[in-house]
Amino acid sequence: QKEVEQNSGPLSVPEGAIASLNCTYSDRGSQSFFWYRQYSGKSPELIMSIYSNGDKEDGRFTAQLNKASQYVSLLIRDSQPSDSATYLCAVNFEVGTASKLTFGTGTRLQVTL
């Protein structure tokens, strides 16, 4: 059974701080990793994708991947109240193009004023 694990939270950070969200996955051969943001009652929205070891930055978001440790994280700098949402980690366990994603249960982030 291929699994993706996340701490369900809530993770509470003050406005302006760095939020760090973590995810581990079970299959060392996995190739594609994604972070989705989901506001309450809404559908998942893609924030970041990462395929290679190291860091990938996009604005206030940085995704970090360590395949040896089977670990992927998302850092949100200068957290804003509008960042309050559930963050879903998703992994494509199959090599190649479009294929099903396996999601974690999500981490709920609360950014406090």
Site for other proteins, rule CB under 8 A: 4, 8, 32, 34, 36, 42-46, 49, 88, 90, 92, 96-106
The least CB distance from residue 98 to other proteins, in Å, is 4
| Of residues 2 and 77, the one with the C-beta less far from other proteins | 2
> Concatenated DSSP letters for the chain?
---EE-----EEEETTSPEEEEEEES-TT--EEEEEEE-TTS--EEEEEE-SSEEEEETTEEEEEETTTTEEEEEESS--GGG-EEEEEEEE-SSSSS---EE---EEEEEE-
| Of residues 4 and 63, the one with the C-beta less far from other proteins | 4
The least CB distance from residue 51 to other proteins, in Å, is 9
| Of residues 21 and 90, the one with the C-beta less far from other proteins | 90
The least CB distance from residue 52 to other proteins, in Å, is 14
